[in-house]
Structure 1
Amino acid sequence: MELRTLRYFVAVAEELHFGRAAARLHMSQPPLSRAIKQLEAGLGAVLLHRSATGVTLTPAGEALLEEARELLDRAERVRARVAAAAGPATLTIGILGDSSDTGVARLAAAYRRRHPGVEVRIRETDLTDPTCGLRAGLVDVALTRAPFDGTGLEVRELRADPVGAVLRADDPLARRAHLELADLVDRRWFRFPDGTDPLWQAYWSGGEPRQGPVVRGVQECLQAVLWNGTVGMTPLGHRPPGELAVVPVVDVPPSRVVVAWNRTDPNPLIGSFVRIAAAAYRA
């Protein structure tokens, strides 16, 4: 069994769907299906029950999933120890500034347990760079939100958060149970500077060009709403000050929390970080 094949199987076993697993692995579905069939043939056991709606694990598949995760984790620890022996082991993580994501605390604790000898460096960035310095080579891996231009990057989704409009508490719309983008069409929005990733800019402006104050950070966004009565989007999990309110917007897709890294980066600590992040966010 190759580690690559085990990674394929773990992706299918976690997603319980070949299409989603193929997208996660950035490959097409036919070679993924062939690899799993070859794995089953080599083991002499059926690992998955396939149906039109997805797959379920057989008892043999459940046993392999547990063992495969341990083997993959062990392989990453081996790589990390070898890298550590070759020199000081460091990992620089880019994070969007002023994030209140509780998943980060679970991830940090899990990573310290797995790699106590690795020096972790954190680089916070403002909202104008969704890759948190990844493209400029300032970080090894980014813990951020999509969408953004993923050219040359690997991106794995960790969680999806519903979003809402952040408004002043005395705004008439703040009393609504939910909103649609059409309710905000005539309002001024906060927006990001020219040159910001177009996909990122479009998502946070509801897919339309907007007029309003230019902001760079979370606190600037909130102050723009407080002082100017502008509106903007924010994940529902973020709790603004009492003078502000967040109302769900039902026709905007969820904001995806992702981990991203450069596709050609040889740093052996990145693969381990991605797997630990996926497990921490599933918890």
Structure 2
Amino acid sequence: MELRTLRYFVAVAEELHFGRAAARLHMSQPPLSRAIKALETETGARLLERSPAGVALTPVGAVLLDEARALLDQADRLRVRVATAAGAGAGVLTVGLLGDSTDPDVRRLARVFRERHPGVEIRIRETDLTDPTCGLHAGAVDIALTRAPFDGTGLVVRELRADTVGALLRTDDPSAGRGSLRLADLAGRRWFRFPEGTDRLWQSYWNGGETRKGPVVRGVQECRQAVLWNGTVGMTLAGHDPGEGLTVVPVEDMPPSRVVLAWKEREADRNPLLRSFVRVATEAYGTPQTPPPSP
């Protein structure tokens, strides 16, 4: 079995759709279909059940998927170690980070990645809430661990987790004692906002899809202080302790906040260390997806 063919299979198995898998692999669908059929012939077993509704893994396909992921991860680690030993500059990866670095999934990601790549240096670039791509568009980082939505032009965005969102309120706010809220319950209230020039999709999401008036903030602590001092409304993750004097009430019709990885298109094709980082991250966050394969 060739690694390239296994990467093709992994993409189809994760997307469960030949068209989406082909787009992810930057190839047309017919050669992808032929490669999967050839792999089934080689293994002597049907790996995928095809139907008008899409694709499903067979029990044999599920076994191959687990083994293929492990083999591809080992292959990428080998490439990184050889390139690092040869002084090819593959031993450094710059990661943009937006959000809570104490998140258990982030800590698990750091631990597992260190175990797999003990000689690799990870440079962390923490950013405030005004740039959800963490400097990715500007070329300041290789990959961003952040939250969507934002302008993904020229980027690959892969979801890792979805978190419930709630309204951040002062504990003496009339709505603070309710079990849940809807966005309509907060109509007419002042909200904290991000500066002019902030990504439009990002701004709209955190403002509940409306144009709001209120204090301008750049970071998490500024958001909390704006609510504490001014009694404004903000959105934050439900289930987190916002600190003394503040409370979070879940908002029923607010879409969840998606934790994502983002990197520039085709960059994973050239960088095995980036591919390995994405693979480890998807494992750490308990999701099955992996990065696009190299040619």
Q: Does residue 74 in structure 1 map to residue 78 in structure 2? A: no
Aligned CA-pair RMSD: 2.5
Aligned to 2:17: 18
Aligned-residue offset at 1:252? 1.6
Report the Cα distance in structure 2 between the residues aligned to 1:23 and 1:44, rounded to whole angstroms: 24
Q: Where do 1:196-275 residues align within 5 Å? A: 196-265=198-267, 266-275=270-279
Q: Where do 1:146-157 residues align within 5 Å? A: 146-157=148-159
Report the Cα distance in structure 2 between the residues aligned to 1:197 and 1:2, rounded to whole angstroms: 42
Unaligned 5+ runs, structure 1: none
The DSSP-based 3-state class of the residue aligned with 2:191 is coil
Summarize the Cα distance change of 1:29–1:233 in structure 2 as closer, same or farther, 3 Å threshold.
farther
Q: Does residue 110 in structure 1 map to residue 109 in structure 2? A: no
Query: Does the aligned pair in 2 maintain the 1:96–1:125 contact within 8 Å?
Result: yes
Report the Cα distance in structure 1 between the residues aligned to 2:282 and 2:98, rounded to whole angstroms: 18
Query: Does the aligned pair in 1 maintain the 2:136–2:263 contact within 8 Å?
Result: yes
The DSSP-based 3-state class of the residue aligned with 1:174 is coil
Summarize the Cα distance change of 1:174–1:111 in structure 2 as closer, same or farther, 3 Å threshold.
same
Report the Cα distance in structure 1 between the residues aligned to 2:196 and 2:92, rounded to whole angstroms: 34
Between stretches 234-243 and 158-167, larger displacement belongs to 234-243
Report the Cα distance in structure 1 between the residues aligned to 2:186 and 2:35, rounded to whole angstroms: 49
What do residues 211-266 of structure 1 show as CA deviations (whole Å, max 9, x unaligned)?
A: 00000000000000000011111121432113111111111211110111112433
Q: TM-score, normalised by structure 1?
A: 0.90
Q: Which amino acid aligns with 1:274?
A: V
Aligned to 2:86: 86
Report the Cα distance in structure 2 between the residues aligned to 1:33 and 1:184, rounded to whole angstroms: 51
Q: Which amino acid aligns with 1:106?
A: R
Aligned-residue offset at 1:57? 3.2
Between stretches 139-148 and 83-92, larger displacement belongs to 83-92
What do residues 59-107 of structure 1 show as CA deviations (whole Å, max 9, x unaligned)?
A: 3212211220122112211220122023251111110155442210010
Unaligned 5+ runs, structure 2: 288-295
Aligned-residue offset at 1:268? 2.5
Summarize the Cα distance change of 1:83–1:28 in structure 2 as closer, same or farther, 3 Å threshold.
closer
Q: Which amino acid aligns with 1:110?
A: V
Report the Cα distance in structure 2 between the residues aligned to 1:159 and 1:126, rounded to whole angstroms: 20
Summarize the Cα distance change of 1:241–1:84 in structure 2 as closer, same or farther, 3 Å threshold.
same
Aligned residues: 282
Query: Does the aligned pair in 2 maintain the 1:8–1:25 contact within 8 Å?
Result: no
What do residues 132-178 of structure 1 show as CA deviations (whole Å, max 9, x unaligned)?
A: 11111111111000111111111111111111111111111111111
Query: Does the aligned pair in 1 maintain the 2:97–2:144 contact within 8 Å?
Result: yes
Summarize the Cα distance change of 1:239–1:38 in structure 2 as closer, same or farther, 3 Å threshold.
farther
Q: TM-score, normalised by structure 2?
A: 0.87
Q: Which amino acid aligns with 1:171?
A: D
Between stretches 258-267 and 50-59, larger displacement belongs to 50-59
